[in-house]
């Protein structure tokens, strides 16, 4: 999908972010430092990472500047409320950069941290994919902790299966 215009992209990205925020809202504050394995991102690291990569890598390079990403540690924001505020603040900063772009700017190239030149719209698409990737990891982390997570699009897979009519010959429901 080629991104041709900033306003529709920002509307789409806002919906992606809403789903991420719904998930973050169920993170137990006392589990923010939990990780499935020593040396791996904690839940808080995951949230800070989405924020810092968006702002300091994607937004900077889209603006024509080099990446300024320096990590996602607790030194940036610690404690649930501070992490969420940090997440939202960096997103607002990124949006301010994206709103300055013209539709023609989307076709101009930027240089990624890997020294690859690509059209800005492709880099923006990669930014969305990056957030979705880490949101998926957060779902897994929270499921490992037994936290009930919100369905992504309103229904769980089990609810969709319950509300669906089987295709002839497929009466056995693999979800049961």
Who's near 103: CB < 8 A, 6+ residues apart?
Answer: 4, 5, 6
Quick check: 170 pLDDT over 80? no
Residue ranges covered by each domain of the chain: 6-151
Structure tokens at 81: 């409320």
What pLDDT shows up at residue 158?
A: 84
What pLDDT shows up at residue 173?
A: 55
pTM (2 decimals)?
A: 0.90
DSSP 59: I
What pLDDT shows up at residue 162?
A: 87
**What is the pLDDT averaged over residues 97-124?**
96
In the numeric block, the tokens 């839940």 are attached to 43
φ, ψ of residue 111 to 5 degrees: the values are: -110, 120
**What is the pLDDT averaged over residues 56-60?**
98
Report yes or no: 106 and 6 within 8 Å, Cβ to Cβ.
yes
Quick check: 68 pLDDT over 90? yes
Report percent pLDDT > 70 for the chain: 96
- Name the nearest CA neighbour of 65 among 123, 111, 102: 111
Q: Spell out the CATH class of 6-151.
A: mainly alpha
What pLDDT shows up at residue 157?
A: 80
Q: Categorize the per-residue pLDDT at 163 as very low, low, confident or very high, splitting at 50, 70 and 90.
A: confident
CA gap 67, 53 in Å, rounded: 9
CA gap 19, 32 in Å, rounded: 19
- Name the nearest CA neighbour of 113 among 133, 90, 134, 130: 130
Q: Identify the three-state secondary structure at position 34.
A: coil
Angle at 44 between CA 76 and CA 80, to 5 degrees: 80
Predicted confidence (pLDDT) per residue in 126-162, tens digit: 999 999 999 999 999 999 999 999 987 788 788 888 8
Q: Give 137: exposed, middle or buried? Use CB within 10 Å, 0-12, 13-18, 19+.
A: middle
Q: Give 87: exposed, middle or buried? Use CB within 10 Å, 0-12, 13-18, 19+.
A: buried
Quick check: 168 pLDDT over 90? no
């Amino acid at each position: 999908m080629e991104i041709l215009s900033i306003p529709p992209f920002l509307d789409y990205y806002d919906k992606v972010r809403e789903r991420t925020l719904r998930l973050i809202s169920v993170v137990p504050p006392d589990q923010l430092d939990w990780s499935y394995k020593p040396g791996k991102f904690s839940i808080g690291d995951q949230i800070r990472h989405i924020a810092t990569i968006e702002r300091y890598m994607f937004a900077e390079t889209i603006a024509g500047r080099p990446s300024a990403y320096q990590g996602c540690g607790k030194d940036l924001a610690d404690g649930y409320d501070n992490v969420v505020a940090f997440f939202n603040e960096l997103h607002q900063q990124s949006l301010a950069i994206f709103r300055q772009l013209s539709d023609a700017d989307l076709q101009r190239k930027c240089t990624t941290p890997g020294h690859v030149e690509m059209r800005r719209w492709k880099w923006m698409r990669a930014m969305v994919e990056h957030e979705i990737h880490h949101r998926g990891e957060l779902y897994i982390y929270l499921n490992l902790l037994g936290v009930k997570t919100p369905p992504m699009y309103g229904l769980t897979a089990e609810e969709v299966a319950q509300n669906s009519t089987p295709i002839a010959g497929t009466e056995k429901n693999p979800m049961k």
